[in-house]
Structure 1
Amino acid sequence: MSNVQDYPSRLSDPTSRKMGTFSYLPEMTPEEIRKQVEWIVKNGWNPAIEHTEPEHASDYYWYMWKLPMFGETDVDAILAELEACHEANPGNHIRLIGYDNFTQSQGANMVVYRGDPV
């Protein structure tokens, strides 16, 4: 068996908390974020943006930024909304979700901007 790295995430240490698979990877570049948005659009998923304070990141409820962008296929428009949410909520985590109509579930969910931990 190979050695699997342990990530010492602890509730007592806000800087160590992880939020899904992508959070264990290095931060995405703007080009990589664009590719993820393109993937969501290519799959026909509906993008949505949510945000929350870092201290509430592990809660189930995140604030919705506007309504989901049903049928939106303009990658630049989605990226502009991500940036607008980040500018309006600079200390919050901002995540992008791709809703899959067929499975009626989230096909993608990733934190795009990380707020400052408390």
Structure 2
Amino acid sequence: MSEMQDYASSLADTSSRKFETFSYLPEMDAARIRKQVEYIVSKGWNPAVEHTEPENAFGHYWYMWKLPLFGETDVDRILAEAEACHKAHPKNHVRLVGYDNYAQSKGAEMVVFRGQSV
């Protein structure tokens, strides 16, 4: 059996924290983020953008950036909204969510921009 890897993280060091599954993998570049958005759109999920301060990222409440993009299928527009949120709140983490109407839950969520801790 292989060794289980321990990820050094702490509450005091906000840059070391892990969020969702993708944060345990190497950081996604723009092309990989785009593929994830394409997947969300292909599933018919409603994309939404959320943000929060790094010190509050483990809370259950993240601020909604505008309303969810109900029925939006333009990947470039979705990515532009995530970028606009990041520009408006450069110190905050920004995540993209795909809401599954059928299951009434999140089908996907990933942090696409990490904020700077103060």
Return the TM-score normalized by structure 1: 0.96
Structure 2, gaps ≥5 residues long: none
Counterpart-to-counterpart distance in 1, 2:12 and 2:79: 33
Counterpart-to-counterpart distance in 2, 1:61 and 1:79: 22
Could you tell me how far 1:13 is from its partner in structure 2?
2.3
Per-residue deviation, residues 2-51 of structure 1 (Å, max 9, x unmatched):
21101122212222211111111121111111100000000000000000
Counterpart-to-counterpart distance in 1, 2:43 and 2:7: 32
Counterpart in 2 of 1:34?
A: 34
Q: Secondary structure, in 3 states, of the residue corresponding to 1:33?
A: helix
Identical-pair percentage:
69
Structure 1, gaps ≥5 residues long: none
Runs ≥4 residues deviating over 6 A: none
Counterpart in 2 of 1:46?
A: 46
Tell me the number of residue pairs that the alignment of Structure 1 and Structure 2 aligns.
Answer: 118
Counterpart-to-counterpart distance in 1, 2:110 and 2:64: 14
Return the TM-score normalized by structure 2: 0.96
Q: CA RMSD in A?
A: 0.9
